[in-house]
């Protein structure tokens, strides 16, 4: 019975680790350049503090995910893991939200502010950023599922202890 509770958590953590590592790697390697009127413009993730925050948050989540996978399941650290999962979920959620907002402005522009869309000029950069955002969104959903599963397990332990 105990193994039946460990396997879903391990698989969710493994999927989250893969998604955060992928999001970090794809965002860090996103770059493209274009020439307009003999001026060369380079687009890379370091040009935007939001994309840097997104990459850093996913790197932190990757490190945490790698550490959490190797923690023994029979320890009393499960409460700490629940809290840390929630913190990582909040970090991932804030970074994906901010990066999605900047990505939308990059794709569509903002006519009220006079910002032109850039994805037509640097499509390789935008494609990489979109792929990183998709991986980040998957990681956010998986961490949400991890928090729900951990809360469900904790609730079951509390109700079993009262019976």
156: Cα within 13 Å, side-chain hemisphere: 8
- Specify the higher pLDDT residue, 152 or 89: 89
Residue 32: predicted pLDDT: 83
Beta strands in the chain (DSSP E): 31-36, 39-44
pTM over 0.85: yes
Residue of 107, 105, 25, 103 lying closest to 61 (CA atoms): 25
Position 22 scores a pLDDT of 96
Token pair belonging to 35: 């020439």
Q: Is the pLDDT of residue 86 over 50?
A: yes
Give the Cα separation of 63 and 86 in Å (integer).
15
Q: What is the span of the domain harbouring residue 102?
A: 2-161
100 vs 157, more confident = 100
Question: Is the pLDDT at 142 greater than 60, yes or no?
Answer: yes
How many folded domains does the chain comprise?
Answer: 1
What is d(CA 65, CA 84) in angstroms, rounded to the nearest whole number? 10
pLDDT tens profile 41-66: 888 888 899 999 999 999 999 999 99
| Overall average pLDDT of the 103-123 stretch | 85
Say what percent of the chain tops pLDDT 90: 50
Confidence of residue 2 (pLDDT cuts 50, 70, 90): low
Q: What is the pLDDT of residue 8?
A: 83
Q: What per-residue confidence (pLDDT) applies to 80?
A: 84
Report residue 38's pLDDT band, with 50, 70 and 90 as the boundaries.
Answer: confident
More confident residue, 143 or 36: 143
């Amino acid at each position: 019975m105990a193994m039946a509770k460990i396997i879903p958590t391990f698989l969710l953590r493994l999927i989250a680790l893969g998604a955060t590592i992928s999001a970090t790697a794809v965002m860090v390697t996103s770059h493209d350049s274009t020439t307009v009127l003999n001026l060369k413009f380079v687009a890379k993730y370091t040009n935007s503090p939001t994309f840097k925050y997104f990459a850093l948050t996913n790197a932190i989540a990757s490190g945490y995910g790698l550490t959490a996978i190797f923690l023994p399941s029979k320890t009393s650290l499960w409460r700490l893991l629940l809290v840390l999962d929630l913190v990582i979920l909040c970090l991932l959620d804030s970074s994906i939200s901010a990066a999605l907002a900047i990505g939308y402005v990059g794709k569509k522009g903002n006519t009220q502010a006079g910002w032109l869309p850039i994805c037509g000029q640097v499509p390789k950069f935008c494609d990489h950023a979109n792929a990183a955002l998709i991986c980040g969104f998957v990681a956010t959903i998986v961490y949400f599922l991890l928090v729900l599963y951990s809360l469900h397990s904790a609730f079951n332990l509390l109700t079993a202890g009262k019976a």
